[in-house]
Amino acid sequence: MAFSLFNLEGKLAVVTGSSQGIGLALATGLAEHGAAVVINGRNAEKVEAAVEDLKKAGHKAHASAFDVTDADAVKVGIDGIEAEIGPIDILINNAGMQFRAPLEDFPVDKWQQLLDTNISSVFYAGQAVARHMIARGRGKIINIASVQSELARPSIAPYTATKGAVRNLTRGMATDWAKYGLQINAIAPGYFKTPLNQALVDNPEFSAWLEKRTPAGRWGDVEELVGAAVFLAGDASSFVNGQVLHIDGGMTASV
Category of 58 on φ-ψ map: left (φ > 0), alpha (ψ -120 to 50) or beta: left
Catalytic residue among 124, 159, 180, 191: 159
Q: Helix, strand or coil for residue 120?
A: helix
Q: Model confidence at 196, in pLDDT bands (50, 70, 90)?
A: confident
Q: What pLDDT score was predicted for residue 2? A: 61
CA distance 12 to 35: 6
Q: Distance of CA 181 to CAs 8, 141, 237, 242, Å?
A: 18, 11, 12, 13
Contact 18, 195 (CB under 8 A): no
CA distance 158 to 253: 23
Q: Helix, strand, coil proportions of the chain in percent (round to 5)?
A: 55, 15, 30
Contact 226, 220 (CB under 8 A): no
The predicted-structure confidence for 199-230, as pLDDT tens digits, reads as follows 889 999 999 999 999 999 999 999 999 999 99
Q: What pLDDT score was predicted for residue 12? A: 98
Position 102 pLDDT exceeds 80: yes
CA distance 45 to 47: 5
Q: Where are the domains of the chain?
A: 3-253
The predicted-structure confidence for 131-177, as pLDDT tens digits, reads as follows 999 999 999 999 999 999 999 999 999 999 999 999 999 999 999 99
CA distance 198 to 104: 25
159 among known catalytic residues: yes
Q: What pLDDT score was predicted for residue 194? A: 86
Q: Tell me the angle at which helices 226-233 and 21-32 cross, rounded to the nearest 10 degrees.
A: 60
Category of 233 on φ-ψ map: left (φ > 0), alpha (ψ -120 to 50) or beta: alpha
Residue positions counted in the chain: 255
Contact 87, 75 (CB under 8 A): no
Strands (E) across 11-96 are located at 12-15, 36-41, 61-65, 90-93
CA distance 192 to 207: 11
33-63 core/surface letters (b: 16 or more CB in 10 A; e: else) = bbbbbbbbbbeeebbeebbeebeeeebebbb
CATH class of 3-253: alpha beta
Contact 225, 194 (CB under 8 A): no
Cα of 159 vs its chain's centroid, Å: 15
Four-residue CA torsion sign, 147, 148, 152, 154: positive
Q: What pLDDT score was predicted for residue 235? A: 96
